[in-house]
Amino acid sequence: MTAHFKQDGPVESNRLDGMKQGVIGKALPRVEGLAKVTGTAPYAAEYQAANMAEGVLVTATITRGTVSSIDTQSVLAMPGVLAVIQDSRMTTRAAQGTAGQAPQQEPQTVSYWGQPIALVVAETFEQARDAAKQLTITYDAEEGAPLDPQAVESEAKEGQTVNQGDLAHAMAEAAHSVDVTIDTEGHASAAMEPHAAIAQWEGDKLTLYASLQMLNYNIAELADALGIEEEDVRLRAPYVGGGFGSKLGISEEAVAAAIAAKQLDRPVRVVMSRQQVFQCIMRRSETHQRLRLACDDDGRLTGFGHDALVSNLPGEAFAEPVLQSSHFLYGGDNRSLSLNVARIHRMTAGSVRAPGEAVGMPALEVAMDQLAEEAGIDPVELRLRNIPERNPEEDLPFSSHKLAECLRQGAEAFGWDSGPRTPRQHKEGEWWIGTGMASAARVHNVSEAKVRVSLIADGTALVRTDMTDIGTGTYTILAQIVGEMLGLPVDKVMVELGDTQNPRGPGSGGSWGAASIGSAAFMACHALRKTLAERVGTSEEELSLKDGIANSGPSLVELLDGKELSELGHYEPGDIADDYTASGFGAFFAQVRVNRFTGEARVDRMLGAFGFGRVLNAKTARSQCLGGITWSIGAALTESLMFDPNDGHLVNCDLAEYHMPVHRDIGEVEVLMVEERDPVASPIQAKGIGELGMCGGAAAIANAIYNACGARLHHFPMTPDRILAALPD
Amino acid sequence: MADYITVNDTKHPLPDDPRVSLLDFLRQEVGLTGTKKGCDHGQCGACTVIVNGMRINSCLALAVMHDGDTVTTIEGIGTPGAPSALQKAFVEHDGYQCGYCTPGQICAATAMLDEIAHGMPSDASDTLEGEIQISDEEIRERMSGNLCRCGAYANILAAIRDVAKEKAV
């Protein structure tokens, strides 16, 4: 049976809060926790297969052109080498998130430095790695590929331009205004588990173990690349060692492994090196942004301008959606927004955690800080005065809106001083100390999702979907939702994820996973409850399930009477998306130290207050927020992709040179979850939380740097050299 | 020449190929995949194991260099049925998300607490000699070779702090 629900309106019934089990929202430890801490949870490269061969990708050392020849004989005689694969179906880029079709193929055509062009397969990893290094390749290079995003004619991204009123006039007439240009550099997802795949064929049936976020799209992408039917592909990814956007689409090693395994008629494993993950998966585009803000004497915005330039390879549809939350976060009748894309030959730009807001919000929130200073208004107060009643561009209501509460509660918990904010007021030894704040916003998304929930005759439940848990907590929140609805403790709910033999989930991405798959599970459970209610002789509304007992009477085991009961939950977003603007909101507060002599900035403490609908698990949701704040610190201070201006190759392509935060970079971190119920966001009243924690946080740090030492920087990350250069005398 | 490495109390013969790293030896030849490969260049700490009582990045060592050595991996620290105090604390404090860096974090933390107990100073220590007081900053400094991209640092710190306190009591 299928319990299908298409959400065309708010779901006010809020059934989850009427249940009796008492597990929803609780800070329960992850159900797969012991497997992770004991090293027994298997990740993609860790499956055993008899007679497995090892593949190592070979990548291009030119920027643009063609591979004229690969001297396979140069390595085939080496010990253990089995084949050099140069199949035209091999992919040269990772698919963009939700593509559902093969990305660019034909590896002999090179469009960026570091692009995969061949696969060397050998009996052992050491043999394959050695042979891959020895492989002789000749190129027909095409000189003059554009590499600098600001040196080429850019194209406007469709559907992003807004012109409302007269911004130039508003700027000219404003009591106070700010017109600043802010740059952000590229970011890498840098998930700890490198991209890896094991391909195994049985006749024409392929099983692929891989590290992927969205099996529901990846299966179509892989089948399309290989020229086979989806029915002949099974993808498995029960454990994924982080994704952050980098594993949204099928990546090069997976397709190469599948092709090699077929050709050699034996299982093949391909694991990318860390350098390859950096060079041929995805980068977040650098951005060049202009912010124009105009306000009246009271600090109320009269004009709002946000223009951004991003880059990508020719032919890629993705453009970092920098303006995503700028469209609705603050009011201002005179509006001008635009997004342009420069076509250059750096590696593919795609989704990295919180695409858009991760870089757009920090720029906007630095500009807001400057406007607060110009207008002589406390920065928290300035934001409170500019929260719009409705979406200022589309005149839509907000599904719910917790920005004001987050600003107020966050300020109080942090101990925000709303007095005058002159820089350089606090000094400890070599260090200037300052504080800063910023708003957080991240659009809320949901996606179609299916899950099968079964009540087994022994009174336990089984939840099955191809949805993934990339560290987000999917296993645990599904056990909690199902446990709550069916009256079972979480240890009686088994959850099977990451297998395309199960119904299609929404995939993990865009912070939509929990609300979407959770709603599908909710629908399945609701249908199961109806059946159980009939058996008890009551209505679904009157049915009380707790610890496997119905209405203090029969047990689930008795009601099931030896037979399994199963429902397919199917959730679909409906017209409601056109009727409301839905977003998570929040506020960041930071205290930062800046060294007077070295320009080094350190974050002493940071607080984030977030409103994102129902909290499904207080422990895992808090962890998502903590992770976002950690990324905010990296984006503010250290993270930056650096490209060679001569050939466009990524120079700092490893974890020593790309500076993500480490333990000692993270001081005291506090998270406030401002609970709410959002009936528009999803039938379980939850919104996404995977990305909100880094949507603006870098600005709180930037603004604290200014408050500490008087250096107003317009370039992220704010490294010591940049801070020193910006320090006033 | 002993020609074997003892891994979690079991002897395993050295690999034939001298290019095999200790990490790949553990993962491929011994079959213990709890030790993770995050970078293969000593930059992330996911491959941390304890060799003769000291933590090392197993990706930076060749297996043949450890002839006769005793290696403890995450599987030797505890099992799902009998987890160590640190393993339990990581679960309780949500000291992980995706779980990929976790075995390395736990191996590193296990050895790190011993280093403090033995008076080995760090950049965060007040002096180079004498007893070291366990502080948040000591733990952060000593764990900074173990990267976590999910950003679970605050929770990892809380987990280690809990166990360190118990040990001190």
B100 and B46, same domain (yes or no): no
Q: What is the pLDDT of residue A404?
A: 98
Same domain, B33 and B12: yes
**Subunit contact A241:B100, Cβ cutoff 8 A:** yes
Last residue of one domain, picked from the residues B47, B77, B107: B77
Instruction: Count other C-beta atoms under 10 Å from residue A659's C-beta.
Output: 16
Give the domain CATH number at B35: 3.10.20.30
Do residue B14 and residue B73 come from a single domain?
Answer: yes
Query: What are A166-214's pLDDT values in tens digits?
Result: 999 999 999 999 999 999 999 999 999 999 999 999 999 999 999 999 9
Nearest CB among A39, A243, A622 relative to B75 is that of: A39
Q: Which of residues 118-137 of B touch A (CB under 8 A)?
A: 124, 137
Claim to verify: residue B67 and residue B96 sit in the same structural domain: no
Assess whether B69 and B126 both reside in one domain. no
Q: Are residues B106 and B135 in the same domain?
A: yes
Instruction: Note the pLDDT tens digit of each residue in A94-122.
Output: 999 999 999 999 999 999 999 999 999 99
**What integer is the mean pLDDT of A565-570?**
98
pLDDT of residue B2: 80
Cβ under 8 Å to A: B residues 7-66: 17, 19-20, 24, 27-28, 31-41, 43-44, 46
Which of left, alpha, beta for A4 (phi over 0: left; psi -120 to 50: alpha)? beta
Q: With contact defined as beta carbons under 8 Å apart, do A414 and A667 qualify?
A: no
Q: Answer yes or no: do A43 and B100 touch at CB < 8 A.
A: yes
Which residue segments constitute the domains of chain A, with CATH numbers given? Answer: 2-41+447-574 (3.30.365.10), 44-144+189-280 (3.30.365.10), 378-444+582-729 (3.30.365.10)
Q: Are A228 and A74 in contact (CB under 8 A)?
A: no
Cis peptide bond prior to A717, omega within 30° of 0: yes
What burial letters (b/e) apply to A411-442, b meaning 16+ CB within 10 Å?
Answer: beebebeeeebebbeeeeeebbbbbbbbbbbb
pLDDT at A362 over 90: yes
Say how far apart CA A516 and CA A465 lie, in whole Å: 12
Q: Which two tokens stand for residue A686?
A: 């939850």
Q: Using a CB cutoff of 8 Å and minimum separation of 24, what contacts does A552-559 make? A: A555/A459, A556/A455, A556/A459, A556/A486, A556/A487, A556/A488, A556/A532, A557/A457, A557/A458, A557/A459, A559/A532, A559/A535
d(CA A601, CA A636) in angstroms, rounded, equals 10
User: Chain-wide mean pLDDT for chain A?
Assistant: 97
Residue B169 pLDDT > 80: no
Residues B109 and B157 in one domain: yes
Q: For residues B93 and B130, state if they share a domain.
A: yes
Tell me: do B155 and B89 sit in the same domain.
yes
Name the residue type at position A661.
P
B71 and B97 part of one domain: no
> Tell me, what CATH number does B137's domain have?
1.10.150.120
B91:A660 CB<8 A:
no
Is A691 catalytic? The answer is yes
**8-state DSSP, A500:** T
- Name the domain count of chain B: 2
Instruction: Give per-residue pLDDT as tens, A44-98.
Output: 999 999 999 999 999 999 999 999 999 999 899 999 999 999 999 999 999 999 9
Q: What is the DSSP string of A549-579?
A: EETTSSBHHHHHTT--EEEEEEEEE-THHHH
Per-residue pLDDT of B56-108, as tens digits, reads 999 999 999 999 999 999 999 999 999 999 999 999 999 999 999 999 999 99
Q: Which of B77, B103, B128 is at the close of a domain?
A: B77
Residue A50 contacts B, CB cutoff 8 Å: no
Residues of chain B contacting residue A29, judged by C-beta atoms under 8 Å apart: 91-92, 94
Contact pairs from chain A to chain B, CB under 8 Å: 189
Smallest CA–CA distance from A668 into chain B, residue: B154
Both B91 and B32 in one domain: the answer is: no
d(CA B87, CA B99): 12
Is residue B101 domain-shared with residue B152, that is, in the same domain? yes
> In the listed set B32, B48, B77, which residue is the last one of a domain according to the structure?
B77
**B78 contact A CB<8A:** yes
d(Cα A573, Cα A550) in Å, to the nearest integer?
A: 32
Instruction: Give the model's confidence band at A577: pLDDT under 50 very low, under 70 low, under 90 confident, else very high.
Output: confident
Residue-range definition of the domain harbouring residue B17: 4-77
Q: A715 near A182, Cβ under 8 Å? A: yes
* Cross-chain CB nearest to A29 (options B36, B91, B148): B91
- Three-state secondary structure string covering A76-130: HCCCCEEEEECCCCCCCCCCCCCCCCCCCCCCCEECCCCCEEEEEEECCHHHHHH
A616 in Cβ contact with A25 (< 8 Å): yes
